[in-house]
Structure 1
């Protein structure tokens, strides 16, 4: 049976985050086998979202029977969210649902008490207000999203896509999440606060970007030993300028970015092939199975063998 993703909607939601989540969870990539998510639009009745009017499929009580509940952005954080929405989101969490907010949807989760004692984020323009209104919430203004297990929050706009892809990656694995990203013509995104199952970004194609030709060159050579000097020489930059461009583009250093890409490649090989750990280690430039296991466990949080059992079973329909 397909997992149910329920979108909680009421008057005053932001249409961008709502449509984004609908695209991710409502339309499977053609290459993905087996059932996709069952998407449910839940609200108190006909609602206005931005300049659009929507007819929800179900009432808010349906949230309590969903596997995942997503609360899109709340248009006006100065206005308290309606009690029926807050109560329904709280009831869904108490019934065992995973609950995620996109952008200012965090104000709904906070009103439901789901963020008390937790680290959370929202759109940068409203992090101060969230912290002031809900002092029990540990608001982090500097991240794209926060994964707190069954409660997740994202920053604004494009960061909502990061979180949605992260949820798909948790459920179906890296290869499936990347297939969704390709269908939506979006690049892989930055670590949102939890390293596992998340990639560091590759900039959108731009012939004028000083690293435009370097990124694909690196991706074709992940099995080889590469140094900062090798990368700088290929890009025609000094090591110092290379590092500066890397930080501006990816938010991290060349070697850390390279490390994350190798972990990502290892995830894909573990999901999609029967290659032994030694073979995966060689293909990702890790050298030995021992080195791969150490770095993989440290970055992803589980050993390669555990990761493979989890996501090969998912990919095979188990």
Structure 2
């Protein structure tokens, strides 16, 4: 029987081979969590740490801009120039990447995973997941189920 190891093993191999864990050109890459470079701005770096530690909290552009003591416009412009992605798109990607770990390493339902990853509805989670990975979360879980997963 064929077994797929998923994002954890792929990411470890990529790091050993000193290859980038992400592909350019729009191809899907199944990786654990992309390397997150800390922003040089201390306020933005603290924001990234806060979000990674509290992924289920609700974050709006207004609240994160206020946290960084910036206007919404300044925050959006600075975040996009530093990360080459909008804040909302970045947040969705961080949550999706966290959900991959849960799909592969737990027996949680898709609904429970969507909640733990910070999505406010399972339908929104499924929509973003399929858009990014071209596969439903349950199918991902079945394909990339960890050998140690019960």
Structure with the higher fraction of residues in helix conformation? 2
Partners of 2:56 and 2:117 within 8 A in 1: yes
**Which residue of structure 2 lines up, in the alignment, with residue 316 of structure 1?**
147
- For the pair shown, the structure with the greater C-alpha radius of gyration is 1
- Equivalence map 1:89-238=2 (5 Å): 172-179=5-12, 192-195=25-28, 197=30, 202-204=36-38, 206=40, 208-238=41-71
TM-score, normalization: structure 2? 0.78
Match of 1:260 among 93, 97, 121: 93
* 1:275 corresponds to 2:118: no
Partners of 2:23 and 2:29 within 8 A in 1: no
Q: What is the SS of the residue equivalent to 1:290?
A: helix
Which runs of no fewer than 5 residues in structure 2 stay unpaired? none
Q: CA deviation at 1:248?
A: 1.7
CA distance in 1 between partners of 2:84 and 2:133 (Å): 19
Structure with the higher fraction of residues in strand conformation? 1
CA distance in 2 between partners of 1:185 and 1:196 (Å): 16
Per-residue displacement from partner, 1:168-221 (whole Å, max 9, x unpaired)?
Answer: xxx632233444577789996586523553566522475x55421111111122
Partners of 2:56 and 2:116 within 8 A in 1: yes
CA distance in 2 between partners of 1:213 and 1:183 (Å): 29
Structure 1 vs Structure 2 CA RMSD: 3.0
Aligned residues: 144
- Bigger RCO (CA 8 Å, 6+ sep): 2
Change (3 A) 1:200 1:242: farther
TM-score, normalization: structure 1? 0.39
Structure 1 stretches of 4+ moved >4 Å = 178-192, 198-201
Which runs of no fewer than 5 residues in structure 1 stay unpaired? 1-170
**Which residue of structure 2 lines up, in the alignment, with residue 126 of structure 1?**
none
Q: What is the SS of the residue equivalent to 1:172?
A: coil
CA distance in 2 between partners of 1:296 and 1:272 (Å): 17
